[in-house]
Structure 1
């Protein structure tokens, strides 16, 4: 894109064609807490995170999985119920053993009541009370058959709990992955509907971080918390019921620490939440810097800015480290803090339970079961609290993804849309077109022109004159707010963007190759292109001559970062791509800027053949390349100040003549 590109206003979802060049030579310092270019990322002090609102929206993403979630809930209930029954049965097993041990020590032939009366007669009231709370039979030892039956039932119960828990985990994994799959699809679909102005306004690494890292973090957080959270909540409810069933007194004692645990966990989570927001914001910034420095490595090296780039990396890496450390450390305090409270609870329950056994109010097995339940009660509470860091991290990432999903989209295509007659003639008109990037800064005012079918329209002028903007309006990268542009008499706004752009081929000054073979890159715009067609297009644009020098020929794998093709060869490949597409309208934006003089002559010959019978718009700075254009438009300050053929404009001695003379004067000066 030429340098006249202006940033689009926020209210107008404008769509530029390429990302503005980033000043790699002098990396920007990241703002620390104040407003700046990254202000929309939720940094503390810039934009507070709506945790509750984002959390509710996060949960709404699970609505399509209502039926599996019900199954997860049912399986969780069954698993928890069986797991909760287990300690009570084990308590019964302990009672069988304890009763057998006590009964063996009592004389045979007496009843339990007689044994209790004997102990009271001897002044051993405490032992008598404890014996009264057991099911011991004097002279009878451990009932191993009953013990075996109880233990067998316990094993079956725990096996059933495991089976239901396994099924719950399997279904949960499917729920999570399908949810994230849909989220990725929505993000991918959203990217195709975003105006390119949004993409231009975001550092590429930051955008990639939202699409990859943040979505992965959402998946991880959901996977690790969904099933565990359901199970933990159900366990708390089930254990609480069993605790009150066994001993309301001990249950009340155990619940004393719960409010304190909630207060402690809430206070810690509140402090860690901003750190998680900052962590993921700095992750995006660091990724943006790494991507920027990698793609601009040559410029960084040439201008000797390795030290500044490394320093910026260290600053952002240090900021990410500090935010991550604080987030993990603060949230990590939750579990040991709640573990300490759980141990205090265990101590109180053990002491009170021991006193209850001694008084005969409870059996030893019930105390054992209650202690297990107290552990089971505090453990899920601790788990829920420890999951707070995962939930906060996941919601922080989800909000960043939601910000992307909520970004303003380009205006929708008309419904129903007009369809162009076939074949397309290629008559293009601009009728009183006005356009501004900034409402306060005029750019194009009342521009009118007509491009007849098959004509070559060259657009020249100084930087910032509006040349590329004119093409952007033609391609509907921007919508025209005033006036109209027509193709074969049809307003381009009445066409779908796909319909309009399918009639146009474009070769930009900035080349781009996709990961794949050379043949695939040439055939990118044509589905089902044969090898013969690819070779023919390559021969016509002088690509074939260098492709055959490569070991794998047309099967050579390249990408935009590859070093196996030069910048000029990349541009030739993009020209071949447009040649093969064979569109009725061509847009050439400095299409030969990266080729050598000899190759430029050859490419110009190929372009002349390509332009035959097609309407062509050619943006050029080197005026020698557009001498044979049917009409040359000279633009200054968004207006057409001159138009005509090369010879006519030279004879007029106006703006075109001055541009032409300045180029050749520069060439003569350079020779001298």
Structure 2
């Protein structure tokens, strides 16, 4: 990629090769218009009766719009041209009533259509969010969170705008077009033929434009998603960006993706902007031809002045729906591209959970691995863990030790059933894990991660997240057991203090104490702990260790050990190396063997 110097810095020069490389990152299926529209129509099913009423109002308003010019023509021929004013006032009154009713029907159809569209979008948005909760962890591993957020917001908003405005306009335009053509044929087949001269030009012009805009609007949606994904990653990882002084590189990457969006957006809007210009030109040409031909026919007494007035109005009403249809076509294209991206997520297979039995089973906490082998990618030659077998009795603590990449975290992920094993079996209380519903397993399993995550809600609600029906007394007890009560009471509003995103106003150690309190209030049978006491002051570390000991008491615990103190208090130690379990046993047994674990202690690697 090349950069050119600008007055305020450097700007990337995007080539076709750069765009092709960027486009390869996003895999899109070919547009299925009928399929997408059919699925949107199914979402409207609950309000189909109201939609039919709206469509009937559109028919009425289209008929009234056609009736108005006809009344004007009759007034000119029957009253004004003959200087008869006796009935003119009545005709004016009728015309006013027609346009009042036209306004009322248009208001009602727009009002009800907004309600229909918002209910439809509500169902679409809720369906997407609901499905996101059912997708496996592997789905989120492979996608940028910002790109997913773009589908949840930008793409659905495009569909919303189209349903709000374009649906009625398209249907009304078609009715107006058909009705106007029929009336014009009745008035003057010759003038109708002259009006229709512009239709082939409109068709080929629209075809030339929309063939380009359909592709460009899809690329624009892709570019928005990619840019949002990059922005979300950068903001979430801002500390890392600053720690490694990567601001310039992130700016360059942002400039590339922003430039891609600018280019696709520029050409999409440029081509779509041709539509009103072309349509206005053709409208004016049509009006000129009709006026000229009508004048000639009137000169030879073939038509009346009133008929010419009626016809010129209908000629404008004929070209206006064509113009509206052409303009709305781009909006519909953008909405279909957005809806297709939303349905692509909804069509992703959810986590399979065929276990129907054991829904109310109370876990004891006996855990057994039998020759478990797992690969994150099925095509990987080397498995992440291979032929791992062990047994941990209920209430015991097992420490996982080993170098980075040895497979410790993978064992935790499999215990939480975030991933399915490729080979072997995991048994919980002698029940194969796939025979336990995920909800049953996870509701009785708690996590204390190395980097605890807090939500933007009160301290009380963050703790209660481990058990949503926990009482205030249970929350308070859990906080005290976790050694968190003291610092919570020092916060501005105590337990009702609202934490910002990820608890930015409290320390890492305090976050960890809240995470332990959250696990305590859940009262789980199995604990998965990634002990996080590094980079924490000594006093807080002691509080965390004390809280962890209370949390682990009487529960089956798996601990990724980073501290010798934790390992010494574990009932079992599992030594992982290159995805294999190379040693296991109690602390005393492994020290007597003087194997790998003994060597790790001797070299102070724990």
Pair in the same fold by TM > 0.5: yes
CA distance in 2, matches of 1:594, 1:399: 46
Determine if the alignment matches structure 1 residue 571 to structure 2 residue 523.
Answer: no
> Is contact 1:176-1:222 (8 Å) kept?
yes
Greater shift in the superposed pair: 524-533 or 317-326: 524-533
Determine if the alignment matches structure 1 residue 76 to structure 2 residue 16.
Answer: no
Greater Cα radius of gyration, structure 1 or 2: 1
> Is contact 1:331-1:388 (8 Å) kept?
no
CA distance in 2, matches of 1:331, 1:347: 25
> Is contact 1:49-1:277 (8 Å) kept?
no
Greater shift in the superposed pair: 322-331 or 597-606: 597-606
**Aligned residue pair count:** 590
Determine if the alignment matches structure 1 residue 649 to structure 2 residue 568.
Answer: no
Determine if the alignment matches structure 1 residue 66 to structure 2 residue 7.
Answer: no
Q: Please name the residue that 2:74 is paired with.
A: 92
Q: Please name the residue that 2:358 is paired with.
A: 418
Q: Please name the residue that 1:295 is paired with.
A: 236
> Is contact 1:413-1:497 (8 Å) kept?
no
Change (3 A) 1:593 1:410: farther
CA distance in 1, matches of 2:23, 2:415: 30
Q: Please name the residue that 1:631 is paired with.
A: 572
Cα deviation digits, residues 360-406 of structure 1 (max 9, x gap) = 12111011000000001100100110112211111111121122112
Q: Secondary structure at the match of 1:663?
A: coil
Shift of 1:513: 0.2
CA distance in 2, matches of 1:594, 1:58: 52
Cα deviation digits, residues 198-251 of structure 1 (max 9, x gap) = 112111111111111111111112212001111111110111111011111111
Aligned-pair Cα RMSD in Å: 2.1
Shift of 1:191: 0.2
CA distance in 2, matches of 1:581, 1:71: 51
Structure 1 counterpart of 2:371, from 432, 437, 441: 432
Determine if the alignment matches structure 1 residue 613 to structure 2 residue 554.
Answer: yes
Query: Which has the bigger relative contact order, CA under 8 A and spacing at least 6?
Result: 1
Shift of 1:599: 2.5
> Is contact 2:450-2:532 (8 Å) kept?
yes
CA distance in 1, matches of 2:387, 2:507: 42
Q: Secondary structure at the match of 1:457?
A: strand
Shift of 1:338: 1.1
> Is contact 1:523-1:534 (8 Å) kept?
yes
Determine if the alignment matches structure 1 residue 449 to structure 2 residue 390.
Answer: yes
Cα deviation digits, residues 502-546 of structure 1 (max 9, x gap) = 111111112100011111111111223333322222222221222
Shift of 1:32: 2.8
CA distance in 2, matches of 1:509, 1:347: 76
Q: Please name the residue that 1:34 is paired with.
A: 20
Cα deviation digits, residues 32-88 of structure 1 (max 9, x gap) = 33356963354xxxx654556545544554444432332222111111111101111
CA distance in 2, matches of 1:193, 1:661: 46
Gaps of 5+ in 1: 1-28, 101-141, 667-672
Q: Secondary structure at the match of 2:529?
A: strand
CA distance in 2, matches of 1:572, 1:315: 42
Determine if the alignment matches structure 1 residue 362 to structure 2 residue 303.
Answer: yes
Q: Secondary structure at the match of 1:528?
A: coil
CA distance in 1, matches of 2:278, 2:479: 70
Q: Compute the TM-score of the two structures, normalised by the length of structure 1.
A: 0.84
> Is contact 2:453-2:502 (8 Å) kept?
no
Change (3 A) 1:420 1:69: closer
Gaps of 5+ in 2: 1-13
CA distance in 2, matches of 1:67, 1:513: 45
Structure 1 counterpart of 2:331, from 390, 396, 412: 390
Q: Compute the TM-score of the two structures, normalised by the length of structure 2.
A: 0.93
CA distance in 2, matches of 1:409, 1:36: 28
Determine if the alignment matches structure 1 residue 350 to structure 2 residue 332.
Answer: no
> Is contact 2:361-2:440 (8 Å) kept?
no
Greater shift in the superposed pair: 170-179 or 555-564: 555-564
CA distance in 2, matches of 1:527, 1:198: 26
> Is contact 2:75-2:91 (8 Å) kept?
yes
Q: Please name the residue that 1:248 is paired with.
A: 189
Q: Secondary structure at the match of 2:398?
A: strand
Cα deviation digits, residues 391-424 of structure 1 (max 9, x gap) = 111111112112211223222332x2323544x3
Structure 1 counterpart of 2:444, from 481, 500, 503: 503
CA distance in 1, matches of 2:422, 2:241: 40
> Is contact 2:209-2:271 (8 Å) kept?
yes
Change (3 A) 1:579 1:305: same
Q: Please name the residue that 2:539 is paired with.
A: 598
Determine if the alignment matches structure 1 residue 580 to structure 2 residue 521.
Answer: yes
> Is contact 1:571-1:594 (8 Å) kept?
no
Q: Please name the residue that 2:5 is paired with.
A: none
The residue correspondences of 1:212-361 to structure 2 (distance < 5 A) are 212-361=153-302
> Is contact 1:429-1:485 (8 Å) kept?
yes
Greater shift in the superposed pair: 483-492 or 597-606: 597-606
CA distance in 2, matches of 1:421, 1:99: 91
Change (3 A) 1:540 1:437: same
Greater shift in the superposed pair: 268-277 or 91-100: 91-100
Q: Please name the residue that 1:127 is paired with.
A: none
